[in-house]
Amino acid sequence: MKKYLILSLLLLLLNCKTPTDNNADPLIDINYEPIKRNDWEVSTPEAQGLDPLLIQKLYNDANGIDHIYSVLVIKNNKLVSEHYFNGYDIDDKNLIQSATKSYFSTLVGIALDHGCLTSLDQKMMDFFPEYTSLIEDQRKFDITLRQLLQMRSGYPSDESPEYSHLIQPGDLLSAIVNYPLVGSPGTVFEYTNVSPHTLGVIVSRACNIALENFIETYLFTPLGVDMDFVFWDPYGNLLPVFSATPRGFAKYGMLYLNGGEFNGIQVVPSEWVDETLQVYTENIHMIDVSPNFSEMGYGYHWWVKKSGNHHYFFAAGQGGQMIVLLRDLDMLIVTTAYHFQGDSGSSWKTTSAIFSLVGDYIASLPGD
């Protein structure tokens, strides 16, 4: 009760306008106290060194975004704030869209750790002998797993109008043969769904197991999360789109924030986490939504960005699905929103608003 009284007084003082702040928007007192359950240890922003007024502003700003579903903040392994919007609730699952790409990168690291794969320099075509006689551009035989992880295979974006018609509906593997290379392997960054899907099929074939069983056994079960598989290609290969609750989403982020360890179990090698969270491509200009969210870089299916004084890696999906790793602050931010499945044009307003929300909040945090 004392905490809320103090916070209310602070909000009252902050909302008192002066002649110099006539354009300021008053804060709405949104209850962001985490719901106590046995899946997360909860705390308060103050106890973990965060400014509660900045947290309140984060949720106040989120409240004005169309189609946003949730915002969670974790600091020092403790859930310090969460709130659900637009009729969404704690147990509701949501398609996380392209944020699943980061999960598929994790599967490669696990397959390497289990010896199914031997090196990131293994060639893509070694796993697709059925396509060997159909390949005309010999450079495709040089594409490595590393280049697929970096989105530097040479394949174009599968959302490019001039190339998208070359993929049969749901059949991303057809791009292996049908897509022309827009650059030699390793030389060009192009963001594409083809890369994670191809890597998923490679993991499944190399480990001789259905990919959904591999994921359940080596990732979801150790994390204690219940995620739904949603789409398969015409050949029965799992497509890279999952459905999860925000808290389940956050557990995956904690895995990477804690060097691949979760609840005392080393789920993925720490070396893989460190190798993944590197910048292999810089100055990618794909999203220009605010001064705090524009130029980006890319690791192994993780984006990297700087806002204010903080560099951070993040998984991102259409509509504003985000897992944000602030390693220097031992902090994680998760957002979910309507997924806009099959409607990428309408999603941009919400996506850009959420990216700006997160970038602006991070820029407000103190740092060296």
Cα–Cα distance, 206 to 274 (Å, whole number) = 23
Tell me the residue range of the domain where 45 lies: 31-92+245-364
The predicted pLDDT at position 288 comes to 56
Which residue, of 207, 237, 268, is where some domain finishes? 207
Same domain for 252 and 308?
Answer: yes
Q: Are residues 86 and 194 in the same domain?
A: no
Would you say 67 and 337 are in contact if contact means Cβ atoms under 8 Å apart? yes
Q: What span, in angstroms and rounded, lies between the C-alpha atoms of 118 and 140?
A: 20
Q: Does 259 lie in the same domain as 185? A: no
Provide the pLDDT for residue 4: 36
Domain shared by 173 and 70, yes or no: no
Same domain? 303 vs 356:
yes
Query: Do both 159 and 61 map to the same domain?
Result: no
Q: Give the number of domains in the chain.
A: 2
- Which tokens is 126 given? 């070694």
pLDDT at position 164 = 75
Q: SS3 sequence, 235-297?
A: CCCECCCEEECHHHHHHHHHHHHCCCEECCEECCCHHHHHHHCCCCEEEECCCCCECCECCEE
Choose among 262, 222, 228: nearest CA to 245: 228
User: Does residue 129 share a domain with residue 83?
Assistant: no
- Kindly state whether residues 274 and 345 are assigned to the same domain: yes
Tell me, what CATH number does 200's domain have?
1.20.58
In a domain, 348, yes or no: yes
Q: Residue 12 has what pLDDT? A: 34
Q: What is the pLDDT along the chain (368 residues), one digit of tens a residue?
A: 334 333 433 333 334 333 333 344 567 789 999 999 999 999 999 999 999 999 999 999 999 999 999 999 999 999 999 999 999 999 999 999 999 999 999 999 999 999 999 999 999 999 999 999 999 999 999 999 999 999 999 999 877 778 777 777 778 888 899 999 999 999 999 999 999 999 999 999 999 999 999 999 999 999 999 988 888 888 888 888 889 899 999 999 999 999 999 999 999 999 999 999 999 999 887 655 666 666 799 999 999 999 999 999 999 998 899 999 999 999 999 999 998 866 656 678 889 999 999 999 999 999 76
Q: Which residue, of 207, 236, 271, is where some domain finishes?
A: 207
pTM of the model: 0.89
Q: Is residue 214 part of a domain?
A: no
Residues 271 and 345 in one domain: yes
Is there a domain that residue 216 lies in? no
Sign of the dihedral defined by the CA atoms of residues 318, 255, 149, 328, in that order = positive
Q: What is the pLDDT of residue 24?
A: 47
Say if CB 352 and CB 287 are below 8 A apart. Answer: yes
Please state, in angstroms and as integers, the Cα–Cα distance from residue 38 to each residue in 45, 81, 224, 345, following that order: 19, 16, 12, 39
Same domain for 283 and 341, yes or no, is yes
- What is the rounded distance in angstroms from the CA atom of residue 22 to the CA atom of residue 360? 21
Q: What is the CATH number of the domain that holds 267?
A: 3.40.710.10
B/e letters for 311-323, b = 16+ CB within 10 Å, e = fewer, are: bbbbbbbbbbbbb
128 and 74 share a domain? no
Mark whether 187 and 135 lie in a shared domain.
yes
Could you tell me if residue 16 is inside a domain? no
Query: Which pLDDT value is given to residue 345?
Result: 62
User: Is residue 226 situated within a structural domain?
Assistant: no
Q: Which of 146, 181, 207 is the last residue of a domain?
A: 207
Residue 1 belongs to a domain: no
Q: If DSSP codes are grouped into helix, strand and coil, which group holds residue 306? A: strand
Q: Judge whether 81 lies within some domain.
A: yes
- Separation of alpha carbons 33 and 47, rounded Å: 13
Domain membership flag for residue 159: yes
